Amino acid sequence: MAYLGYRAPLPVWSSPGIIMPPQDFSDSDEKWLSFTARLVEAVLDYKRKIDTDLVKVDMSGSLPMDMVQYTQLYGATRIPGMVSDSQVVDSDPNYIIVMHRGNAFVMETKDVDGNDLKASQIYYSLQHALAESKRLGSIGKIGLLTSDTRQNWYKAHQVLKVQDSETLSKIEGSSFVLCLDETLEESGKDKLTSTALNSLHGIGTSVNGSNRWYDKALQFIVAKSGEVAICNEHSFAEAVPTSKFNT
């Protein structure tokens, strides 16, 4: 695939951002996390519909489209290579990665009986991750590596495989990444523009650039100031399957 051979960075160059309706959380952690929990619940439910063939088949005029792209959204990760990248898809991951201030946390998405968690359960897991990130008091920078050129990221990836393979494998094997961004500072831009920029590149390394893992096929981004968006790695699917999350 041509996409996998591109050596340019993923953000801006190939990974699209999708704006979702802005929210008003009134600077409240409770409102922020409650909305995010419902979003995660809906995303998990959509996977169930994909797995059970309940998603309506896309049509091109009178012709049905191949729906295989939908099955390559969850659990999908692009792995950097020196000359060309590769793809890995875990068909049934039972956890997601929650990122806040560049710190990554594993959040289980199924209960002991194998059922998807409800929004109320997800809320408390998010609350715990947020509290732990604040307790750490530091900003993780490892996510920035995924925004570099593919050759540079490949070299760093090789080092990480030796130094912290467990963490790397956990992130890469997750269903998707949820990015909890802090309040975006006023920039003079309207909210939709700020949301678009945040979805594409996190508005740079000094804002949310490190709170991403650009190799993941799906990243859901929810800022405390109400900006909501999706960033998806383009080699797994065109924008149509991802845009369905916005309907």
Positive or negative, the Cα torsion across 229, 233, 234, 240? negative
Q: Which residues pair with 19 in a beta bridge?
A: 229
Q: Which residue among the candidates 100, 157, 201, 234 is catalytic per the annotation? A: 234
Number of CB atoms found within 10 A of residue 212's CB? 27
Q: Where are the beta strands (DSSP E) in the chain?
A: 17-20, 59-60, 63-64, 76-79, 86-89, 95-100, 103-108, 177-181, 218-223, 228-232
Catalytic residue status for 234: yes
Structure tokens at 236: 């797994």
Residues 162, 148, 79, 155, CA torsion sign: negative
Residue 146 · residue 205 · CB < 8 Å: no
Catalytic residues: 234
